[in-house]
Amino acid sequence: MNRFAELLDRLAYEPGRNNKLRLITAYFRDTPDPDRGYALAALTGALSFKHAKAGLVRDLIAARVDPVLFALSYDYVGDLSETAALMWPTSSLAEGAMDDHHDSSPPPTLTNVVTTLRTLGKAELPAQLARWLDELDETGRWALLKLVTGAMRIGISARLAKTAAAALGGKDVHDVELIWPGLAPPYLDLFAWLEGRGERPVNRIPAPFRPVMLAHAIDDADFARLDAADFIAEWKWDGIRVQAVSGCDEHGNIATRLYSRTGEDITHSFPDLLPSLRREGSSEGRLNDSRKPFGAFRQQTFAIDGELLVVRDGRVQSFNVLQQRLNRKAVTSRLMKEFPIHLRAYDLLEDGDNDLRELPFEDRRRRLVDFIAALDDPRIDLSPRVAFATWGELAAARADPAAAGAGADADAIEGIMLKRCDASYLPGRPKGLWWKWKRDPRIIDAVLMYAQRGHGRRSSYYSDYTFGVWTAGEEGEQLVPVGKAYFGFTDEELVRIDRFVRRNTTESFGPVRHVLHEPDRGLVLEIAFEGLQRSARHKSGVAMRFPRINRLRWDKPPREADRLETLERMLTSEAAKSTGAGA
């Protein structure tokens, strides 16, 4: 465990991709089975421990240290696991306590931890965790707590970890990704193959995930270099990007899977979509294609790239609505009825055992149109093209999707996707093939009211800001909070705001500082956001989506900041726009 902890610790600081790869590959080379396999599982997110939650960590440490000292420490460090790891009282604190080591057991290996947790009951977990924390050093304790609470966040993608494993055998990451769905921790057969000691493992997963293709954000300057005729435009729907895959195993059983863009299997969260992804008898023409053997099996093999949306009465709902369907522990029939799930298809990657990814997008799109038509299911439809001849026409469509064909669904549109007609489907974010062009965010000027320390990298800075706008109150003009922003500023701006907060604190309540906000004294923040909705939970009655700091208006006195009425007008005009277009 300590060795894995050292790796995590080092990775958490290393910014360079190649250096990260070197570190992980070196770890795989030097670490024996099965520890390295469980490490690969941890790095690719293949492990989860359902009983270990942040609350448990808090309870464990609270029982062992002075609560005041803990609060001061947590406020400073900003990370629960790290604070607990640092403060954990150990018997060998004092130097020269080496004799103790004879009595205490050796620290657990990663394999010990993973295999023990797999079978450990919830009731036994606290005592077991405490024992391990006693045995590990600080870095080990930190890594253990991060691992078991599933909060590793060390900037490693699953793909990077697989690339590092592949490098062990001089292989390409695609070779590993192809067989990955058939592998399981601790990946003994994978490492044996990579080290030339064994056969290449066979992927027996009938419905495997294919690495997803992603887009770059487009800049105004990019358009000058691009020819509108080379591109197909679609709406960028504000839902969840998914891959719907179907296939048959060697016994002819059909398997259907829904994967997130990172390859996480999310099938169980959307059981209501599964029947729509079965093609039994759905298309006469296909079933009768008996010239090929196993035609029936073959037609069950496909992979659609698309977006999950909630559609009610034929109208796509905003992300706010979709969000209510997510993050639920149980998928009840009521939930499914209230938030009917829908798949809007962007692309077809596989059709009847034919890998289409090498084809130009234009050709894949043509096949997708036929495929969706043949499927003929109300829950699955095609993402429509946005017609345009010039960039100017496209800009107009982006500015007003409702008028450009999206109608009442315009609320669920984040912007425009531009795809080169001749682009193959390539994993990752290849340059110049796919572009995303988001809608202009809404902007208002608000006043900084409260500040709180950030977490992680920013824990010594006041980096979480509550801002407000003016409204008429009982005692005249007053500021009412309308949102919180955590990002959008540069590091230098953060330093300046932090200094402003420290120098202009009027009161402190625990971690929250009240910052001076008077008509002529205070800081105006230009806030950009993606959407607005009415909210009973907020005192102001409105809630913003994705607010962020667009600019600091040191030049502007707070009295010139926007008023709540401005937001209310935005809210009404948005509502009017969508109903108007829908009529």
- Kindly state whether residue 496 participates in binding another protein, applying the rule CB under 8 A: no
Nearest approach in angstroms of CB 173 to another protein is 21
How far is it, in rounded angstroms, from Cα 410 to Cα 323? Answer: 17
Nearest approach in angstroms of CB 117 to another protein is 24
Nearest approach in angstroms of CB 454 to another protein is 8
Q: Strands, DSSP E only, in 144-239?
A: 216-217, 231-237
72 or 443: whose CB is closer to another protein?
Answer: 72
How far is it, in rounded angstroms, from Cα 454 to Cα 116? Answer: 35
- Kindly state whether residue 78 participates in binding another protein, applying the rule CB under 8 A: yes
Q: What is the DSSP letter of 267?
A: G
Nearest approach in angstroms of CB 6 to another protein is 8
Nearest approach in angstroms of CB 14 to another protein is 5
How far is it, in rounded angstroms, from Cα 391 to Cα 445? Answer: 31
Residues in a beta bridge with 315: 312
Nearest approach in angstroms of CB 196 to another protein is 23
- Kindly state whether residue 17 participates in binding another protein, applying the rule CB under 8 A: no
- Kindly state whether residue 13 participates in binding another protein, applying the rule CB under 8 A: yes
Buried b (16+ CB within 10 A) or exposed e, 322-354: beebeeeeebeeeeeeebbbbbbbbbbbbbbee
Residues 424-463 that bind another protein (CB under 8 A): 455-461
How far is it, in rounded angstroms, from Cα 267 to Cα 273? Answer: 9
- Kindly state whether residue 93 participates in binding another protein, applying the rule CB under 8 A: yes
60 or 277: whose CB is closer to another protein?
Answer: 60
How far is it, in rounded angstroms, from Cα 411 to Cα 310? Answer: 12
Residues 370-409 that bind another protein (CB under 8 A): none
- Kindly state whether residue 10 participates in binding another protein, applying the rule CB under 8 A: yes
- Kindly state whether residue 22 participates in binding another protein, applying the rule CB under 8 A: yes
- Kindly state whether residue 14 participates in binding another protein, applying the rule CB under 8 A: yes
Residues in a beta bridge with 514: 450, 507
- Kindly state whether residue 205 participates in binding another protein, applying the rule CB under 8 A: no
From candidates 7, 39, 41, 77, binder to another protein by CB under 8 A: 77
76 or 554: whose CB is closer to another protein?
Answer: 76
End-to-end CA distance of the chain: 63
Which x/- pattern over 37-76 shows residues binding another protein (rule: CB under 8 A)?
----------------------------xx-xxx-xx--x
78 or 239: whose CB is closer to another protein?
Answer: 78
How far is it, in rounded angstroms, from Cα 124 to Cα 129? Answer: 9
Q: Say which residues have a Cβ less than 8 Å from residue 583's Cβ, sequence separation at least 6.
A: none
How far is it, in rounded angstroms, from Cα 303 to Cα 143? Answer: 37
From candidates 15, 106, 285, 293, binder to another protein by CB under 8 A: 15
Nearest approach in angstroms of CB 187 to another protein is 23
Under 8 Å between Cβ of 528 and 445: no
Under 8 Å between Cβ of 357 and 425: yes
Residues 499-558 that bind another protein (CB under 8 A): none
Buried b (16+ CB within 10 A) or exposed e, 204-227: ebbbbbbbbbebeebeeeebeeee
Residues 134-193 that bind another protein (CB under 8 A): 137-138
Under 8 Å between Cβ of 549 and 573: no
- Kindly state whether residue 464 participates in binding another protein, applying the rule CB under 8 A: no
72 or 472: whose CB is closer to another protein?
Answer: 72
74 or 425: whose CB is closer to another protein?
Answer: 74
Reference 22, options 185, 163, 194, 193; nearest CA is 163
Buried b (16+ CB within 10 A) or exposed e, 484-494: ebeebbeeeeb
74 or 209: whose CB is closer to another protein?
Answer: 74
16 or 476: whose CB is closer to another protein?
Answer: 16
From candidates 94, 224, 330, 583, binder to another protein by CB under 8 A: 94
4 or 235: whose CB is closer to another protein?
Answer: 4
Q: What is the DSSP letter of 15?
A: -
Q: Which residues bind another protein (CB under 8 A)?
A: 6, 10, 12-15, 19, 22-23, 26, 65-66, 68-70, 72-73, 76-79, 82-83, 86-87, 93-95, 137-138, 455-461
